[in-house]
A = this chain, B = another copy of it.
Amino acid sequence: MHRPPIKFCKQCGSAVVYRIPDDGDTKLRAVCPACHTIHYENPLNVVGTVPCWGDKVLLCKRNIEPRFGLWTLPAGFMELNETTAEGAARETVEEAGAQFVMQELFTLVNVARVGQVHLFYRAQLTSDQFDPGTETIEARLFLESEIPWEEIAFRTTRVTLEQFFADRSKGEFGMHHIDV
Residues of A within 8 A of B (CB): 4, 6-15, 24, 27, 30, 39-45, 77-86, 104-105, 108, 110, 112-113, 115, 117, 119, 133-135, 175, 177, 179
A24 interface neighbour in B43, B112, B135, B179, Cβ under 8 Å: B135
For residue A30, which residues in chain B have a CB less than 8 angstroms away from its CB? 10
Which of A7, A9, A10 has the largest number of chain B CB atoms within 10 A?
A10
| A10 and B39 in contact, given A115-B81, A175-B175 (Cβ under 8 angstroms) | yes
Interface residue SS majority, chain A: loop
The distance from the CB of A172 to the nearest CB of chain B, in whole angstroms, is 14
Please give me the residue from chain B that is nearest to A13 by CB atom: B8
